[in-house]
């Protein structure tokens, strides 16, 4: 099993789970991406940082919501249908 210095994510690896978000160290994000790609973790919960930037094959993709915070508007805005299609496409899903 791969190693991380972050005890919070390391503890869930043994159960087949991983997390991915912009607040993680780049090293840990890369580690989680590799573990998911290799099948060492089966469930990966992530923010849009993964969905818009990395191609990873997934059996299913669940999008909890389609709103992101727009700091200029000071409110949450819908991401739009093309961004949703991009997320599914990155996961290899139609």
Residue 78 scores a pLDDT above 70: yes
Structural domains in the chain, CATH included, are 7-90 (3.40.50.300)
Average confidence (pLDDT) over 54-77:
80
pLDDT of residue 63: 73
Give the β-pairing of 75-78 and 67-70: antiparallel
pLDDT of residue 46: 82
- Which is higher by pLDDT, 78 or 85? 78
Write the pLDDT tens digit of every residue in 3-16.
777 777 888 998 99
pLDDT of residue 44: 87
Closest C-alpha to 43, from 29, 60, 64: 60
Distance of CA 74 to the CA centre of its chain: 24
């Amino acid at each position: 099993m791969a190693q991380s210095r972050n005890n919070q994510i390391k503890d869930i690896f043994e159960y087949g789970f991983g997390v991915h978000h912009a607040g993680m160290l780049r090293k840990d994000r890369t580690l989680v991406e590799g573990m998911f790609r290799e099948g060492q973790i089966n469930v990966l919960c992530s923010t849009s940082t993964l969905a818009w930037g990395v191609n990873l094959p997934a059996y299913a993709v669940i999008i909890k919501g389609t709103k992101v915070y727009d700091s200029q508007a000071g409110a949450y805005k819908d991401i739009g249908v093309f961004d949703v299609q991009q997320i599914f496409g990155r996961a290899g899903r139609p």
